[in-house]
Amino acid sequence: MNSVMITGCSSGFGHAIACAFLDRGWRVIATMRTPRADLFPASENLLVLPLDVTDEDSIGRAVAAAGQIDVLVNNAGIGWLNALEGTSDDVIRTIFETNTFGTMAMTREVLAQFRAQGSGVVINVSSSTALAPMDLLSVYGASKAAVNHFTETLALELAPFGIRARLVVPGHAPETPFGTTAKLRIKDAGGFPEAYQDHVTKVFTKLEQSSDGLMTTVEDVVDAVWQAASDPDSPIRILAGADTKAIVG
């Protein structure tokens, strides 16, 4: 039985990916900061573990407890939308610690096992903002752009060992709580700088008027992750969502 370890499974993409792999008969190691098995259907193939991707000891304990891992899905991430002047050093470090450094640390932790197996897949969930810059997303986009380059270069580095690295790139997904939690985080940090209020209003108005109804669904991301996990011939970069595909053209 194949095993997949997924980070950030309490909601959104991570939760949906875990449930989809369970439905397809995989052993699923679902991780989150505060483990809650009640979020998932009861299954003997499910293992729920605590994991903080910004904590080296937590990463080590979770990977050791997981046992056999065939696929790692680095999904855990935090959102942020604000001007650089409204983004403190602490916020910048927090975003990169989770979105970028956490992805790198999780990947490094499983590589010895993958090399010993002579196989394994690392799937990193990025964002369309890393492909097409969007206003007020300079910090968040930078954290995801780093993941893009990391993954695409890692694919070359790991290929001699029979290990695949894949990048799943979703767009805007209103179904998930990602945007809501980002807004709360921004409010807690003091909101948008006063000098940028008019610009922020124009940006949000433009986004609402130019969306054309294109968006990313949870199913789009689940399908992309499944392709990355199950198809050895999948491209390194897999676009998820009509909006992402429209951006790239």
Which residues are known catalytic residues?
Answer: 140
Domains of the chain: total = 1
Low-confidence ranges of the chain (pLDDT < 70): 175-183, 207-213, 249
Cα 140 to Cα 39: distance, rounded to the nearest angstrom: 28
CATH of the domain at 108: 3.40.50.720
Q: What is the pTM of this model?
A: 0.92
**DSSP line for 105-144:** HHHHHHHHHHHHHT-EEEEEE--GGGTS--TT-HHHHHHH
Write out pLDDT tens, residues 74-129: 999 998 889 999 999 999 999 999 999 999 999 999 999 999 999 999 999 999 99
Q: Which amino acid is at 102?
A: G
3 state DSSP class of 4: strand
Which tokens sit at 112? 């010895």
pLDDT of residue 199: 87
Q: Which domain holds residue 91?
A: 3-248
Q: Which amino acid is at 189?
A: A
pLDDT of residue 106: 98
Which is nearest to 200 in space by CA: 211, 188, 208, 192? Answer: 192
